[in-house]
Structure 1
Amino acid sequence: VRRGVNGETTETATTTTTTRTRTPSPALADDVHLSVFVDNLPVDITADELISLYSRCGPVKSAQVYNLRPDLDPGPHKKSHLAALRKKMRLSGMQAPDRSGRTKRTPVYARITFEDEEGYDVAASDPLRIFGMVVRRHPVRSVKAEDVRTLYVEDVPPGHFSLDLEYRLSRALRGEDVYVCLDMGQHDYAEPKSCEIRFPDARTTHRAYDALMEAGLERDGCSLHFVRTPRDAVQYWTRKSGFDMT
């Protein structure tokens, strides 16, 4: 059980998957092995800005930004408000860990794909994975796409029972020979608000993402992500966190 982005208590299901071995397409394999994910990005970041920044590592083929909510963004703060927020941040410490010991982060993340292995190797190197780079005061770290093996189905609308969701996910992924089993214990008719789908490898994860998007999962009101949305996401989207000081 965890709290959703609006503060309500939600049930979260984890899933297991079984797959039959299948040879991935060369193009997808190339993309996975030339891609990194970066999170904790500014809430108004653009793909062009990321391409400009990460071109320092090498030629960038593409950059895709996820979890943007421009409909909730009131725009940059006024100078007086910005000064007050900066003072607050100096006193409290920028991005201090929460009670669980985890560092807070914004909900916005991106997948960056490079043209060649040289650029990818720089972006996936230890300095950028461990220490990262600073993007408009946001410490941003790289995660290899080949290490991302979980998808997060979030904002599941009310009335979707676990058995229905399990069937819907399995049906959408049948082309990838993936079968989903929700781990809800004895609650077969629970109404999970979110669930995790764990895959055996990154290639299957990326193919599954495309399959679920093509099946219209988001058109039904759900959201699908490679990175879990933090509980206080709304505070960042609406610039009330005191951290987005761009």
Structure 2
Amino acid sequence: MNPKMSSPKVGFLYPGYAAEDDYPRLGKMVNPNVDVELIITEFNEDAHTVEALSEMGSNRRIVDGTKHLVGKGVQSVLWTSTSASFVRGLEGIKEQIATLEEQLNVPASTTALAFVRAAKAIGAKRVALAATYPEDVALLFKVLLESFDIEVIQFASKGIITAAEVGTLQKDEVGNLAVENDCPDADALFIPDTALHSAEWIEDLEEAVQKPVLTANQVSFWEALRLTGQFTPQKGLGTLFKQELPKEGELDVIKS
């Protein structure tokens, strides 16, 4: 970012409490710092099931969350749940983005789509997927990735039902998840759950598997910052943050 420019301000709608503290932490890890507006959204049930996640990511929940960002001056906004986006399929993701943009009149995205764009940005075409979710939910993310020609060559699901439990996993457990579910032939390792802490461990995870690692909170923050138009390469947050953005248009992965 140009030091003469004011620090960007980004908004995140985050369902419940698990690893929400990663976002202000990420805001302080980049230079210059990014001002983070984090809104906790409500839902009926903390469960990694299609029914619960679909309700969690419904337009009603998103609209309710955006009300708390009106007038806050955010320059971009993210619906910050991977699973409560991809369970609704690509059309549901498009609807979530349209709702965010209509309510706040700023560029918007979701974590699920951020993974797709981040994969394109680092040139990852064949990936290993280490999911915390139950298998049926994790498979829906695999389907989404493959619809964008991102081949999942290694697939694992940890089978954790609640985001609250995922949020308790410590560095060694996350490291084991990465190492045990990597694949030598994969271009990158994906760990797709915003309930999982990762902000301070990405460099260690990449060192452990010797390849780029994309985590949900990392790609969400990257996407939000990218959408402000004020991204420049950063150290300490993995391969994704170290490189220049692709040429304009190369990350336009969906059509309106």
TM-score by length of 2: 0.29
Relative contact order (C-alpha < 8 Å, sep 6+): which is higher?
1
Q: Which has the larger radius of gyration?
A: 1
Q: Which structure carries more helix by proportion?
A: 2
TM-score by length of 1: 0.30
Q: Which structure carries more strand by proportion?
A: 1
